[in-house]
Structure 1
């Protein structure tokens, strides 16, 4: 660990780890996954889901009466799989292994088996379930689609640095072309157990910890974790895990080429009647320029651009969890984004009451801390 970069330098957080706090990585993980491969959802109406997907900037890989596969413009496998189901929900996710040998090692360590994936996907997988009950499959050898024609970033005149002359900027109000799946954010009542499971099994590394105001001594309640690719930089977070009153999907994020694509794509979504949840702004943890939207079934998805990339040498940052600390600039976090929309309050109240009755990490003091976050 002597070669790691300390957070006290101010590189990405003003606070670093204290003695005895979580190290943010496993000493001996089973394997080290390479990336987030895809997310799997159920949706009751595939035609409606595909219409939103096109407006959001996905391309269709395949469509049957019961399954829709979506992709970005980057080369690779489909990054969203939607199957027909009675309710709209996340049903699982896939992580990309470095190679098939890692799958054999993972299967041996967990008692699981490798199995062939459907021909439409290709490759093999090891199927596991995280401590919150979410199916997680680790895959290798899947079909890799060739890259599509990308959306080109604009050429900017920054200050006195002239890059564009005798030419105008006219970004079209059209779908922002999704390049790739960036990350998923999950909430769980078993935060520490779930975090350690991902670090121990898949060799992921914490980029940033957040803790509830006044509760640092009780440990973190949210972590942004990335893949360990050694000296090759990886996304600031491939997964983010937060403590909360139930186990659920919060949002997933998809990269677009630049701010103009994100903003003009947002105008296209607005013109077609879709609901913005929060944006446009720039995050603190991860630094992404963001724009959050609700799909027709209420699930949250994010366009992002210009995110941080860290290699394995960077230690975790520590920061208090506050709604006002979620963005460097942009509008205040909305009630919809924070989950305190009046329409959702009856459901949230039932979730909190249920969680407090169960034996898990979400107790009365954590509830008070979470409410301080929402009202900060």
Structure 2
């Protein structure tokens, strides 16, 4: 169970209204590290091999999602994605093989679906030697990004047709999309808008999920949902809202799957009354979290 075209989720590009404040939060509290600054963009990395996990640009107002960056399995996959995007009714903004912008380099294709979700797919981008041993309390890489959709099955079809993603599980409120050994790298939230739901960062251990929650609370950013353990993906979680309104998650122990994994349906993922995760101890998502999960949209096409 994996995409023949996409190897992994690499990074997310966003606007924020105050780049200096974002740097302070994401380095001192969230525990990322500055990877580079180029042309007014701040690139923040984890302790793993990816050049960066976030690319932040300053712009007034509510943050906007500029694009999701995926890594292609091969250089040839870029051309295949371009053709598959057109066949799926999407738009090719940057043709396959174009040099990617930014310090990570490589070549890319940039595509949009019919509802404006923008994906950059890169190959040959710079990698780094992971920190070893993995530092405690620091994100290693992105686990997944969740995107809301007013038409989940259409969004799912585009991810399958254009990018080769595979459905791993379908619950009443979400479609979990697989491209590698991680249970999901993208997921589609079943709702009435097309906002960014959240971005999840992998930390090394369950203890790091918990310590991260304490550190965030000490810094004035309380847990908005958690701690708990999800059903699909089996991952431990704590959810927060960053200073600008973006929902972010610390997670660990993401389930690793292969072709033997049975695709689940909503009837496979129901909880007893009063429970919202496997453990049954998590506080429910706060009203503030639910509002933030509906507030950050893809930037309009240029």
TM-score bracket, shorter-length normalisation: 0.7 to 0.9
Query: Which TM-score applies when normalising by structure 2?
Result: 0.85
Hey, which bits of structure 1, 4+ residues long, moved more than 3 A?
A: 108-112, 149-153, 320-326
Structure 2 residue aligned with 1:327: 277
Alignment partners' CA distance in 2, 1:205 and 1:224: 8
Instruction: Name which of 66, 69, 73 aligns with 1:98.
Output: 73
Which string of whole-angstrom CA distances, capped at 9 and with x for unpartnered residues, describes residues 94-122 of structure 1? 11100111112223444541211125120
1:285-300 correspondence runs (5 A)? 285-300=232-247
Alignment partners' CA distance in 2, 1:109 and 1:239: 18
Alignment partners' CA distance in 1, 2:200 and 2:84: 31
Alignment partners' CA distance in 1, 2:275 and 2:183: 17
Superposed displacement of residue 296, structure 1: 0.2
1:263-278 correspondence runs (5 A)? 263-278=210-225
1:121 corresponds to 2:95: no
CA separation of 1:119/1:209 partners in 2, compared to 1, >3 Å: closer, same or farther? closer
1:79 corresponds to 2:53: yes
CA separation of 1:77/1:268 partners in 2, compared to 1, >3 Å: closer, same or farther? same
Superposed displacement of residue 83, structure 1: 1.0
Instruction: Name which of 33, 57, 77 aligns with 1:59.
Output: 33
Structure 2 residue aligned with 1:222: 174
CA separation of 1:132/1:84 partners in 2, compared to 1, >3 Å: closer, same or farther? same
Structure 2 residue aligned with 1:183: 144
Superposed displacement of residue 152, structure 1: 5.4
1:194-205 correspondence runs (5 A)? 194-205=155-166
Instruction: Name which of 250, 256, 265 aligns with 2:197.
Output: 250
Superposed displacement of residue 52, structure 1: 1.6
Instruction: Name which of 331, 336, 358 aligns with 2:287.
Output: 336
Superposed displacement of residue 269, structure 1: 1.4
Instruction: Name which of 176, 188, 192 aligns with 2:153.
Output: 192
CA separation of 1:99/1:280 partners in 2, compared to 1, >3 Å: closer, same or farther? same
Quick check: 2:150–2:190 contact (8 Å CA) kept in 1? yes
Superposed displacement of residue 337, structure 1: 6.7
Alignment partners' CA distance in 2, 1:246 and 1:322: 24
Quick check: 2:106–2:124 contact (8 Å CA) kept in 1? yes
Q: Looking at CA atoms only, which structure, 1 or 2, has the larger radius of gyration?
A: 1
Superposed displacement of residue 81, structure 1: 0.8
Alignment partners' CA distance in 1, 2:55 and 2:10: 11
Structure 1 residue aligned with 2:21: 48
Superposed displacement of residue 241, structure 1: 0.2
Structure 2 residue aligned with 1:218: none
CA separation of 1:248/1:150 partners in 2, compared to 1, >3 Å: closer, same or farther? farther
Alignment partners' CA distance in 2, 1:145 and 1:276: 32
SS at match of 1:34: strand
Quick check: 1:284–1:325 contact (8 Å CA) kept in 2? no
Which string of whole-angstrom CA distances, capped at 9 and with x for unpartnered residues, describes residues 125-153 of structure 1? 11100232111111101111222244457
RMSD: 2.4
Alignment partners' CA distance in 2, 1:121 and 1:209: 34
CA separation of 1:200/1:64 partners in 2, compared to 1, >3 Å: closer, same or farther? closer
